[in-house]
Amino acid sequence: MDERRQLPRWQVKKEAKVWLPQRQGFSHCVIEDINLKGMCASFDRQLPQEQPLNMSLSLDDNFDFMKVEVNLPWVKEEQGRYVYGMFFNKISEQDKDRVYQYISDNCSGQFKEKWWGV
């Protein structure tokens, strides 16, 4: 498969809490990977298919939620979970900084490997 991403994705495999206004409730997901333009996340149930999809999610344990609007360019079912590719349509500069800080704090080994081949 050809890689079409402009930025590398950082593998995080982190459980996250997500608020979905369309469902008027919280859901849990696993953020498989992320970068400043999007992420891959898996859920135990299907998401609403209307586009774009608004959500709030917490990358860390303090539940300081980021508000994003995403497109879902693809979905696949794996081992009873729904895995979604998500492209950030709208994300604030402050939340981009938070994503960058999370990657910097939690994926430093991947930084070295992807950027410097170490």
Give the CA radius of gyration of the chain.
Answer: 14
Predicted confidence at residue 1, as pLDDT, reads 42
> pLDDT tens-digit profile of 69-93?
999 999 999 999 999 999 999 999 9
Q: What percent of the chain has pLDDT over 70?
A: 84
Interatomic CA distance for residues 21 and 25, integer angstroms:
7
- Contact (CB, 8 A) for 29 and 43: yes
What distance in Å separates the CA atoms of residue 1 and residue 81, rounded to the nearest whole number? 22
Residues 8-35: tens digit of each pLDDT? 777 888 899 999 887 778 888 999 999 8
Please tell me the CATH superfamily of domain 10-116, with its number: predicted glycosyltransferase like domains (2.40.10.220)
For residue 100, pLDDT beyond 90: no
Look at the block and give the residue holding tokens 């992807």.
114
Return mean pLDDT, the chain. 84
Q: What's residue 2's pLDDT? A: 45
Q: What is the pTM of this model?
A: 0.82
For 42, other C-beta atoms within 10 Å of its C-beta total 19
